[in-house]
């Protein structure tokens, strides 16, 4: 089990400890043999081999002393000292119990040894310090030879972070391991791999030698730990936020998986809100932390709060039977068997024994063994082979048919589109956006011939490829009008640009899509007199001879079932169909004059030859039908039905994926999960679940697991 700690900002030091520079730490840390300190006896054997403690305490002559000793017993001595104005934090025992790492003011890590050898000081590069970067977490390697750290920017809106590693003896300075700008160090798996997490909710493994990142799951998750059964446990399933701290907090359930992301299972049935997972007890309860508090959780959460104070950080023994916790100034031994009751009651005072008082930033050590890592047995997968592209965190990934994933594009802010394969499956296009005050879009097109990057004028959205695969269609709104609930883009323009160079080739008024080779355009519509609504949009076929109206918002509303609450219909978007001669239309309703959007909406498939509606599906409360898309081959339509409404608080197990044939009106498939995309083989679809990505055969509902990353994908043939 990992070294488990709550976050540093909530493990407050005593009032005597205030901020000074990193240079002061390096200058004042010195050997523990100074006058007045007990003389240490060299060697590990002088301290307990079952439980140790390290803590800081005010000493004479305006100093802070780092003490080590038995958790309970008379043996103790100091191994380092610092100026009492220093902000010491992140005190961490090495896995073998031979040394203690700690941090002062984010710029310098000290490594003090139990045998009294001189303290090693490892400072961040000057360039990082000058730019306001700081260390916010420390993770020892299993052999105690290296320390990984989260290095985070303290300036700017982005607050980027990446993982660095340094040797504990100071021979190798800090080396950057990740370059995604959103990575937090988590426990090591073995001597060459460690876990990482991101503010966006990705947990992954990191190869310390090569820098390769491998996601473990597609669900939003945080705070992974390696438990004594060799599995990775984490909180996930709903959403992840970074709240007033230096690490992400997750809402959801306790989950576990193998270190490869396989055999994913939910370990409890009660959802937790914005917590981090710190450890697992022998009785199965999870030790979780919210800002400023530690809880024991299973069927309920019991806060660890005693007369000694609220527990802000804990360490749990390898067998899950011993708990040491500390408040702002006290170290407690906690008897978990006596921590019981309801969420509104506090544990019995008998559950805690005060071991030390008047100390700061303590840490406990228990002997640990690296467990055999859990791996799932390889299963034969009978799903058509494909190359899958998907967005996870700040990167676009491509997964080859053998299961290996690689990053083909990154962004500093967000993605303006899902990745889209060209019609021949040879190239992939995506739009990334960076910058906050003046966002800039970059188009990334990658394929066998290399990667092209270019920046179109304006912030465009990628609508798709032209049928011949030579061009990309971008759509943007020219101006805005106030629809009451916010500005509504108008003056829509579509631009076609060469995929190879980004060179402009053509402009089309309105929003352009394709029905086979036909160009289908959605017009702006017009403002309803006396309101601020954009209505009366038309769907037009545009060719060399001019434009022909296929249908419009008013005609669709007259042919489709009316909403339960009256409203003004408007066409929100068009969806290209794989069947030539048809187009998908999303119709919504808004109230006049305020234009407050009604949740009711319809999706209809329209025949472009005469505007006839061949099929429609309603999207109404409390059931939402979202993520709707059309098969790139044939006439199938797929979508997700979220019972209870979409959003972060909905149990994802309540979602259902559907497939229908709009030409016959038949529903062909209903299966648990979220519709995630179309296979290159039109007989299969992809479904995303928290357990991973699955292929489902439409004809008989057969389900096959494809991989661990359950997110929407776009697929191309191998």
Q: Is 189 exposed, middle or buried (0-12, 13-18, 19+ CB in 10 A)?
A: buried
What does the CA dihedral 386, 391, 394, 397 come to, rounded to 10 degrees?
0
Least confident window among 115-129, 279-293, 445-459, 464-478? 445-459
Whether the per-residue pLDDT at 173 is higher than 60: the answer is yes
For residue 206, report the phi and psi dihedrals to the nearest 5 degrees: -125, 125
Distance of alpha carbon 115 from alpha carbon 43, whole angstroms: 5
Asked if residues 393 and 202 have their Cβ atoms less than 8 Å apart, the reply is: yes
Residue 601 lies inside a defined structural domain of this protein: no
Residue 141 lies in a domain: yes
Q: What are phi and psi of 558, to 5 degrees?
A: -75, -25
Average pLDDT on 374-378 reads 76
* Boundary (domain end) residue, out of 509, 535, 559: 509
Q: Among 134-148, 327-341, 686-700, whose mean pLDDT is lowest?
A: 327-341
Give Cα separations from 484 to 489, 527, 594 (angstroms). Answer: 13, 13, 5
Tokens of 621: 């409360």
* Spatial contact of 718 and 401, defined as CB atoms under 8 Å apart: yes
Query: Is residue 388 one of the residues assigned to a domain?
Result: no
| 438 and 321, same domain (yes or no) | no
| Whether residue 215 is found in the same domain as residue 343 | yes
- Residue 622: asked if its preceding bond is cis (omega within 30°), the reply is yes
- Alpha carbon distance 20, 89 (integer Å): 13
Do 233 and 361 reside in the same domain of the chain?
Answer: yes
Number of alpha helices (DSSP H) and beta strands (DSSP E) in the chain:
3, 61
pLDDT of residue 178: 93
pLDDT for 624: 59
Task: Give tens-digit pLDDT for 219-274.
Answer: 999 999 999 999 999 999 989 987 655 789 999 999 999 999 999 999 988 888 89
Is 276 found in the same domain as 202?
Answer: yes
Q: Are 408 and 426 a contacting pair, CB within 8 Å?
A: no
> 46 is written with which tokens?
């002088």
- Mean pLDDT (whole number) for 18-33: 34
Stretch among 23-32, 305-314, 559-568 having the lowest mean pLDDT: 23-32
Per-residue model confidence (pLDDT) at position 105: 66
Q: How far apart are CA 705 and CA 628, in angstroms?
A: 22
Name every residue whose Cβ is closer than 8 Å to that of residue 398 and which is 6 or more positions away in sequence: 387, 388, 389, 405, 406, 408, 428
| Residue with the larger pLDDT of the pair 181 and 565 | 181
Question: Six-digit token pair at 193?
Answer: 């791999």
Residues 143 and 61 in one domain: yes
Separation CA 711–CA 706 (nearest Å): 12
Nearest CA-CA partner of 129 in 27, 17, 25, 22: 22
What is the mean pLDDT of the segment spanning 423-450?
82
Q: Tell me the residue range of the domain where 429 lies.
A: 411-509
Q: Is the pLDDT of residue 46 over 60?
A: yes
Residue 133: inside a domain, yes or no? yes
Query: Burial level of 370, CB count in 10 A (0-12/13-18/19+)?
Result: middle
pLDDT band at 177; cut points 50, 70, 90: very high
> 223 versus 302: which is more confidently predicted?
223
Distance CA(261)–CA(275), nearest Å, equals 21
Q: Given the DSSP bridges, would you call strands 330-334 and 323-326 parallel, antiparallel or unpaired?
A: antiparallel
Predicted confidence (pLDDT) per residue in 655-690, tens digit: 899 999 999 999 999 999 999 999 999 999 999 999
CATH of the domain at 267: 2.120.10.30
| Averaged pLDDT, 44-66 | 87
- Identify which of 528, 529, 526, 519 has the alpha carbon closest to the alpha carbon of residue 496: 519
- Residue 646: CB partners within 8 Å, gap ≥ 6? 624, 626
- 300 pLDDT band, cuts 50/70/90, is confident
The verdict on residue 644 lying in a domain is no
Look at residue 159 in the predicted model and tell me its pLDDT.
Answer: 72
Whether residue 272 lies inside any domain: the answer is yes
Same domain, 184 and 35: yes
User: CA-to-CA distance for 122 and 477, rounded, in angstroms?
Assistant: 52
- In the chain, what percentage of residues exceed pLDDT 70? 84
DSSP label at residue 141: -
Residues in the chain: 718
Residue 566: inside a domain: no
**How many angstroms separate the CA atoms of 250 and 240, rounded?**
4
Higher pLDDT, 194 or 19: 194
Task: Please check whether residues 309 and 440 belong to one and the same domain.
Answer: no
Residue 581 burial (CB count, 10 A):
13
Q: Is the pLDDT of residue 599 over 90?
A: no
Those residues whose C-beta lies under 8 Å from the C-beta of residue 674, and which sit 6 or more positions away, are 627, 640, 652, 655, 657, 687, 688, 689, 710, 712
pLDDT of residue 320: 92
Q: 36: pLDDT confidence band, cut at 50, 70 and 90?
A: very low
φ, ψ of residue 44 in degrees (nearest 5): -65, -30
Rounding to the nearest 10 degrees, give the CA dihedral for residues 529, 535, 536, 538: 150
Q: Is 582 exposed, middle or buried (0-12, 13-18, 19+ CB in 10 A)?
A: buried
Contact 473, 467 (CB under 8 A): no
Q: Is residue 96 part of a domain?
A: yes
Q: Where is the domain boundary, 509, 539, 574?
A: 509
Residue 11 is predicted with a pLDDT of 37
- Find the distance separating the first CA and the last CA of the chain, reported in whole Å: 40
Q: Going along 114-178, which residue ranges are E strands? A: 120-123, 133-140, 146-153, 161-167, 175-176
| Residue 265: predicted pLDDT | 93
* Average pLDDT of the chain to the nearest whole number: 84
Identify the residue whose tokens are 């080859």.
400
Q: Distance between CA 396 and CA 430 in Å, rounded?
A: 8
- Model confidence at 142, pLDDT cuts 50, 70, 90, reads very high
Beta carbons within 10 angstroms of residue 474's beta carbon: 26
Summarize pLDDT for 623-634 with one digit per residue, the tens: 556 668 899 888
Number of structural domains (the chain) is 2
Chain-centroid distance of CA 645 in Å reads: 22
Residues 426 and 304 in one domain: no
Per residue, what are the HEC states of 476-506? EEEEEEECCCCEEEEEEEEEEEECCCCCEEE
What is the average pLDDT across 137-141? 96
- Residue 659's alpha-carbon distances to 64, 114, 239, 638, 653, in angstroms, are 67, 64, 27, 4, 18
Q: In 3-state terms, what secondary structure has residue 405?
A: strand
Yes or no: say if 542 and 519 are a contact pair by the CB < 8 Å rule: yes
Residues 140, 276, single domain; the answer is: yes
Element (H, E) at 557: helix 553-559
- At residue 592, the pLDDT reads 63
CA distance 208 to 205: 9
pLDDT of residue 625: 62
Closest CA to 642 of 620, 610, 617: 620
- Quick one: 436 and 328 in the same domain? no
Secondary-structure percent of the chain, ordered helix, strand, coil, rounded to 5: 5, 50, 45
Cα gap 616→582, rounded to integer Å: 13
Average pLDDT over residues 387-398: 90
Block residue for tokens 């802070």 = 64
Question: Nearest to residue 115, comparing CAs of 27, 31, 34?
Answer: 31
| Token digits of residue 145 | 């030879």
> Residue 210, CB half-sphere, CA atoms under 13 Å: how many?
7
* DSSP-assigned beta bridge partners for residue 660: 637, 667
What three-state secondary structure class fits 128?
helix
Q: List b or e across 61-93, with b for residues whose CB sees 16 or more CB atoms inside 10 angstroms.
A: eebbbbbbbbbeeeebbbbbbbbbebbbbbbbb
Asked whether residue 492 falls in the same domain as residue 361, the answer is: no
* Boundary-marking domain end, from 463, 480, 509: 509
Q: Look at residue 488 in the predicted model and tell me its pLDDT.
A: 53
Which residue from 284, 295, 309, 307 is spatially nearest to 344, judged by alpha carbons?
295
Q: Which carries the bigger pLDDT value, residue 318 or residue 439?
A: 318
Query: In terms of domains, do 428 and 332 share one?
Result: no
Count CB atoms within 10 A of the CB of residue 256: 19
The structure tokens listed for 461 are 């959205």
Residues 225 and 277: their CA atoms lie apart, in Å, by 8
């Amino acid at each position: 089990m990992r070294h488990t700690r709550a976050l540093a900002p909530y493990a407050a030091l005593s009032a005597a400890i205030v901020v000074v520079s990193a240079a002061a730490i390096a200058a004042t840390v010195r050997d523990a043999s100074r006058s007045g300190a007990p003389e240490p006896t060299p060697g590990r054997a002088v301290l307990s081999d079952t439980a140790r403690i390290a803590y800081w305490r005010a000493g004479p002559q305006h100093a802070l002393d780092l003490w080590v000793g038995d958790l309970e017993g008379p043996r103790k001595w100091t191994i380092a000292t610092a100026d009492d104005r220093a902000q010491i934090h992140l005190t961490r025992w090495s896995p073998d119990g031979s040394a203690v790492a700690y941090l002062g003011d984010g710029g310098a890590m000290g490594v003090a040894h139990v045998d009294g050898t001189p303290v090693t000081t490892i400072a961040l590069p000057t360039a990082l310090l000058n730019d306001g970067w700081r260390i916010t977490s420390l993770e020892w390697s299993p052999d105690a030879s290296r320390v990984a750290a989260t290095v985070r920017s303290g300036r700017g809106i982005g607050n980027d972070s990446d993982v660095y590693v340094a040797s504990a003896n100071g021979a190798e300075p800090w080396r950057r391991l990740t370059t995604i700008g959103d990575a937090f160090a988590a426990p090591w798996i073995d001597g060459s791999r460690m876990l990482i997490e991101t503010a966006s909710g990705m947990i992954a493994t990191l190869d310390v030698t090569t820098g390769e990142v491998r996601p473990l799951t597609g669900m939003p998750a945080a705070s992974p730990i390696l438990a004594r059964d060799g599995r990775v446990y984490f909180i996930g399933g709903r959403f992840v936020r970074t709240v007033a701290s230096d690490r992400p907090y997750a809402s959801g359930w306790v989950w576990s998986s193998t270190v490869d992301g396989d055999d994913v299972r939910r370990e409890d049935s009660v959802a937790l809100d914005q917590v981090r997972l710190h450890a697992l007890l022998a009785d199965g309860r999870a030790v979780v932390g919210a800002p400023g508090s530690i809880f024991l959780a299973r069927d309920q959460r019991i806060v660890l709060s005693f007369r000694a104070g609220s527990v802000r950080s804990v360490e749990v023994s390898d067998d899950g039977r011993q708990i040491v916790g500390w408040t702002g100034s006290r170290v407690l031994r906690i008897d978990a068997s006596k921590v019981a009751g309801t969420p509104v009651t506090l544990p019995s005072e008998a559950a805690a024994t005060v071991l030390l008082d008047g100390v700061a930033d303590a840490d406990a050590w228990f002997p640990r063994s690296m467990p055999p890592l859990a791996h799932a047995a390889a299963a034969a997968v009978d799903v058509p082979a494909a190359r899958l592209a998907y967005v996870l965190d700040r990167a676009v990934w491509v997964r080859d048919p053998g299961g290996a994933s690689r990053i083909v594009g990154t962004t500093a802010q967000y993605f303006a589109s899902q990745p889209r394969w060209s019609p021949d499956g040879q190239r992939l296009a995506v739009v990334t956006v960076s910058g906050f005050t003046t966002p800039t879009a970059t188009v990334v097109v990658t394929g066998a011939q290399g990667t092209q990057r270019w920046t179109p004028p304006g912030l465009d959205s990628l609508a798709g490829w032209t049928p011949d695969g030579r061009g990309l269609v971008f759509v943007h709104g020219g101006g805005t009008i106030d629809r009451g609930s916010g500005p509504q883009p108008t003056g829509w323009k579509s631009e076609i640009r060469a995929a190879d160079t980004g060179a402009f080739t053509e402009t089309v008024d309105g929003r352009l899509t394709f029905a086979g080779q036909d160009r289908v355009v959605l017009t702006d519509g017009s403002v309803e007199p006396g309101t601020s609504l954009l209505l009366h949009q038309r769907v037009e076929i545009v060719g060399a001879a001019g434009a022909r109206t296929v249908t419009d918002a008013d005609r669709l509303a007259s042919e489709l079932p009316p909403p339960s609450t009256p409203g003004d219909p408007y066409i929100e978007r068009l969806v290209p169909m794989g069947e030539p001669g048809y187009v998908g239309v999303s119709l919504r309703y808004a109230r006049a004059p305020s234009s407050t959007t009604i949740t009711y909406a319809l999706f209809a498939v329209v025949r472009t030859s005469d505007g006839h509606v061949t099929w429609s599906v309603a999207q109404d409360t409390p059931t939402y039908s979202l993520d709707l898309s059309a098969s790139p081959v044939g006439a199938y339509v797929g979508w997700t039905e979220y019972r209870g409404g979409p959003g972060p608080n909905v149990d994802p197990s309540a979602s259902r994926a559907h497939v229908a044939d709009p030409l016959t009106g038949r529903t062909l498939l209903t299966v648990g999960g979220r519709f995630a995309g179309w296979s290159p083989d039109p007989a299969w679809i992809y479904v995303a679940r928290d357990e991973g990505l699955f292929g489902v055969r439409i004809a008989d509902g057969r389900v096959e697991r494809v991989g661990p990353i359950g997110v929407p994908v776009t697929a191309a043939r191998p």
